[in-house]
Chain A
Amino acid sequence: MTAPLDQLTPVLRQPERLAALGHAEWDLLVRQARSADLLPRLCILLAEQDRLDAVPERPRTHLLATKVVAEKHAQQVRWEIHRIRHAIAPTGVPLLLLKGAAYLAAGLPPARGRLFTDIDFLVPKEELSTVERMLLAHGWVASHLDAYDQHYYRQWMHELPPLWHLHRHSVLDVHHTILPETARLHPDPDKLRAAARPVPGMDGVQVLAPIDMVLHSATHLFHDGEFNHGLRDLVDLDDLMRHFGVDECFWRHLVRRAKELDLRRPLYYALCYTRKILGTPVPEAVMAAAEAGGPSPFAGTVMDALLRRALAPEHPTCVERFTGVARWLLYVRSHYLRMPLHLLVPHLVRKSLKKREALAARPTRPVVNEK
């Protein structure tokens, strides 16, 4: 089911295939993995399996160079976590990290070779303005958004507008729940916070409980996602489930917790597609139980056609017929799930007009040290 030139998905599924690649395959693989933000991850995968020395020299140079960038990202994110913790300490609110920063803090497998764009965390809604004020006092300001965007975030979204550090340029996404207020699904953030776990050795820092972490990751990709890092996000899910799945309790409570949090549909897709694309070992009984949360047969067929394309590496060599259409439809779907039509239509019109302006205003000067 992979596109004919897709080198990346097959090696993620079966890393032993890496040994058989020739120069031309490596050329495609490096490009596709770079584009999917998975090149450093590939390097770590090879190093863990002691296969790095067997990689031809030229692609190996790229793998090692990108690993340096990932190491720098990890170091920076650790430092930012330290600074955020310091900034919000007076509130007494724990720093409940989400997504990439959580994987890094908790030392979980998806943190390996990860490239970070921002740091996400969750605070109670009633503490949101206090937390924002304290972050402001420590240099994080609302990024360059116009009045409309500011209003949109504060009125409808599940997070503050991204905050941007004046000197260090780190970007924070401060959430008060994991889906927009207007979304179709309503996971209760209090339940997530109640089950959160402390991070050993990092005072005042928490991460979601294992099952909740998987459910959040699934929700982020399959309910709220724009699929710009679809494959990377799927790899996260695969990593987490293989890691937590060693404990049989994880599988036993997964579906029940999804029901409790109103997240059965995203869980269904997550199980289905990690298994299909990356070969994640999901127990049959869990898959069967999750199917009750799946879409109707018709919707399932349509979604399959879309997801199959959107979860391929986002590289021109992996584009099939209708890949662009599929990504666009999923983008529309994510917004449709986010808010009712009477809010959505005016919003999308404004966004599409603004996108044109933004394209015209891209930087001219060579941007060095991007990311």
Chain B
Amino acid sequence: MKVSELAADDLDARLRGRGVYLRTGPFVCHVCSPIASVANGIHLLYANHALSTDTAFADFHVRLTRPTGLRRWLRPQVLFHMDDRTPFKPLPLGQAFPMLEWGLNWCVANHAHQYLVVHAAVVAKDDRAMIMPAPPGSGKSTLCAGLVARGWRLLSDELTLISVDDGQITPLPRPVSLKNDSIAVMRAFAPHLAMTDECHDTVKGTVAHMGLPRDSVTRGDTPAQPAWIVFPRYKPGSDTSLVPRKKGATLLEVARNGFNYSILGARGFNCLADTVARCGCYDFTYSRLAEATDLFNALEPTVASPAGGA
């Protein structure tokens, strides 16, 4: 059953009761929450996601709650739980849906060591994946959202899951997190995609989440082959430029963005070295999103060969 088959009221009632078992890529997340904005966010942005009918086993049991006490009335807050743990300080209640998203990211990054988990957006075309690791503020999410709005399949906007066993990338299709100026950019660029209201004054500034095209969700079980590693940088006024970069430097930079690179030890290094070897590696600078997406849409994938050039 899909989330969209539930009426908004019904979804809200289930979240307040026994919770829902939401399938996101390889994980089943058992989500409970008595908070209306969370139900609304899931209803809006997870419409095409499947609800698991098998409720016996969940990978992550997460709950959002409202801490009790005087604060509940004066300055309401929300707290994220993974089972019996509360990894974060409470946030203002208005940030409940972003907190669910950040919390789910935390669950995956800290537990899914069957993958090399890299802090990078990843999109795919014809099952060939483009990994975009970059620090916050580099325009990574905007470029990722732009490509998704122009026909690429979203694998993840935050967490690239590279299978340690076979080097394939497992999709984790969840809403795209947009920050600050990129929210207005994407509203104009992709009016066809759903978007939440803006949340102001979060640790990341103003935040909104964008829904995915149906194809990204329905093909959420289909892995992709890594084909490109691109480091995007948004630079106001710049021309669009795609410049090859060295593989050694690429490996080090991706490793720096690895959530569990050091935990995986030699396995992590080998997995990453194989990935970098088979990808074309580039630095990308842009200021005009349409030009950027056109360029990538015209890009031919490199031949996967460990000895290949840039």
A interface, CB within 8 angstroms of B: 22-24, 26-27, 31, 34-35, 56, 58-59, 61-62, 64-66, 68-69, 71-72, 75, 314-316, 362-370
For residue B290, CB closer than 8 A to chain A, the reply is no
- Residues in chain A near residue B105, CB distance under 8 A: 366
- Residues in chain B near residue A370, CB distance under 8 A: 87, 110
Extra A-B contacts (14), CB below 8 Å, given A69-B263, A72-B262, A363-B89: A23-B54, A31-B84, A56-B57, A58-B57, A62-B111, A65-B113, A66-B113, A68-B267, A75-B265, A363-B88, A364-B91, A366-B102, A366-B105, A367-B88
User: Which among B28, B83, B203, B265 is the interface contact of A35 at CB below 8 angstroms?
Assistant: B83
- Residues in chain A near residue B260, CB distance under 8 A: 369
Complex Cα distance, B57 from A23, in Å, reads 6
- Residues in chain B near residue A362, CB distance under 8 A: 88-89
Whether B114 lies near A65 (C-beta < 8 A) is: yes
Which chain B residue lies CB-closest to A76? B262
Closest CB-CB distance, A318 to chain B, in whole Å?
A: 10
Whether B57 lies near A59 (C-beta < 8 A) is: yes
Closest CB-CB distance, A312 to chain B, in whole Å?
A: 13
Q: List 24 A-B contacts (CB under 8 A).
A: A24-B57, A27-B56, A27-B58, A31-B61, A31-B84, A34-B83, A35-B83, A35-B84, A58-B28, A58-B59, A59-B57, A65-B114, A69-B263, A75-B265, A314-B84, A363-B88, A365-B88, A365-B203, A366-B88, A366-B106, A367-B87, A368-B110, A368-B259, A369-B262
For residue B176, CB closer than 8 A to chain A, the reply is no
- Residues in chain A near residue B28, CB distance under 8 A: 58
- Residues in chain A near residue B121, CB distance under 8 A: none
- Residues in chain A near residue B59, CB distance under 8 A: 58, 62
Closest CB-CB distance, A210 to chain B, in whole Å?
A: 32
Which chain B residue lies CB-closest to A24? B56
Complex Cα distance, B112 from A27, in Å, reads 16
User: Which among B57, B106, B265 is the interface contact of A368 at CB below 8 angstroms?
Assistant: B106
B interface, CB within 8 angstroms of A: 28, 54, 56-59, 61, 83-85, 87-89, 91, 102, 105-106, 109-114, 203, 259-260, 262-265, 267
Complex Cα distance, B237 from A177, in Å, reads 67
Which chain A residue lies CB-closest to B265? A72
Most buried by B among A64, A65, A69, A363: A65
Closest CB-CB distance, A62 to chain B, in whole Å?
A: 7
Which chain B residue lies CB-closest to A371? B110
Complex Cα distance, B89 from A27, in Å, reads 27
User: Which among A35, A364, A369 is the interface contact of B263 at CB below 8 angstroms?
Assistant: A369
Closest CB-CB distance, B198 to chain A, in whole Å?
A: 20
- Residues in chain A near residue B83, CB distance under 8 A: 31, 34-35, 315
User: Which among A24, A27, A364 is the interface contact of B88 at CB below 8 angstroms?
Assistant: A364
Complex Cα distance, B93 from A188, in Å, reads 55
Closest CB-CB distance, A73 to chain B, in whole Å?
A: 9
User: Which among B54, B114, B259 is the interface contact of A61 at CB below 8 angstroms?
Assistant: B114
Q: Give the A-B pair count, Cβ closer than 8 A.
A: 78
Closest CB-CB distance, A217 to chain B, in whole Å?
A: 25
Whether A72 lies near B89 (C-beta < 8 A) is: no
Complex Cα distance, B111 from A65, in Å, reads 7
Whether B57 lies near A72 (C-beta < 8 A) is: no
Whether A64 lies near B114 (C-beta < 8 A) is: yes
- Residues in chain B near residue A24, CB distance under 8 A: 56-57
Complex Cα distance, B263 from A370, in Å, reads 11
Complex Cα distance, B24 from A249, in Å, reads 57
Whether A69 lies near B61 (C-beta < 8 A) is: no
Whether A71 lies near B265 (C-beta < 8 A) is: yes
Closest CB-CB distance, A71 to chain B, in whole Å?
A: 7
Complex Cα distance, B265 from A75, in Å, reads 10
Complex Cα distance, B259 from A369, in Å, reads 7
Closest CB-CB distance, A21 to chain B, in whole Å?
A: 11
- Residues in chain B near residue A64, CB distance under 8 A: 114
Closest CB-CB distance, A47 to chain B, in whole Å?
A: 16
Task: Say yes or no: A369-B88 contact (C-beta < 8 A), given A27-B56, A68-B264.
Answer: no
Whether A315 lies near B84 (C-beta < 8 A) is: yes
Closest CB-CB distance, B165 to chain A, in whole Å?
A: 11
- Residues in chain A near residue B106, CB distance under 8 A: 366-368
- Residues in chain A near residue B58, CB distance under 8 A: 27
- Residues in chain A near residue B109, CB distance under 8 A: 366, 368
- Residues in chain B near residue A365, CB distance under 8 A: 88, 203
Complex Cα distance, B85 from A58, in Å, reads 21
Complex Cα distance, B260 from A22, in Å, reads 30
- Listed from nearest, the 9 A-B pairs whose CB atoms lie closest are A23-B56, A65-B113, A24-B56, A68-B113, A23-B57, A27-B57, A362-B89, A72-B263, A364-B89
Which chain B residue lies CB-closest to A59? B57
Complex Cα distance, B112 from A56, in Å, reads 17
Which chain A residue lies CB-closest to B86? A362
Which chain A residue lies CB-closest to B26? A61
- Residues in chain B near residue A316, CB distance under 8 A: 84
Which chain A residue lies CB-closest to B102? A366
Closest CB-CB distance, B256 to chain A, in whole Å?
A: 13
Closest CB-CB distance, A362 to chain B, in whole Å?
A: 5
Closest CB-CB distance, A124 to chain B, in whole Å?
A: 36
Closest CB-CB distance, A356 to chain B, in whole Å?
A: 12
- Residues in chain A near residue B88, CB distance under 8 A: 362-367
Complex Cα distance, B87 from A362, in Å, reads 9
Whether B113 lies near A366 (C-beta < 8 A) is: no
Complex Cα distance, B81 from A315, in Å, reads 13
Complex Cα distance, B58 from A24, in Å, reads 9
- Residues in chain B near residue A364, CB distance under 8 A: 88-89, 91, 203
Complex Cα distance, B114 from A363, in Å, reads 27
Most buried by A among B102, B110, B262: B110
Complex Cα distance, B114 from A88, in Å, reads 38
Closest CB-CB distance, B60 to chain A, in whole Å?
A: 10
Whether A26 lies near B84 (C-beta < 8 A) is: no
Closest CB-CB distance, B202 to chain A, in whole Å?
A: 10
Closest CB-CB distance, A319 to chain B, in whole Å?
A: 10
Closest CB-CB distance, B133 to chain A, in whole Å?
A: 15
Complex Cα distance, B57 from A26, in Å, reads 7
Which chain A residue lies CB-closest to B103? A366
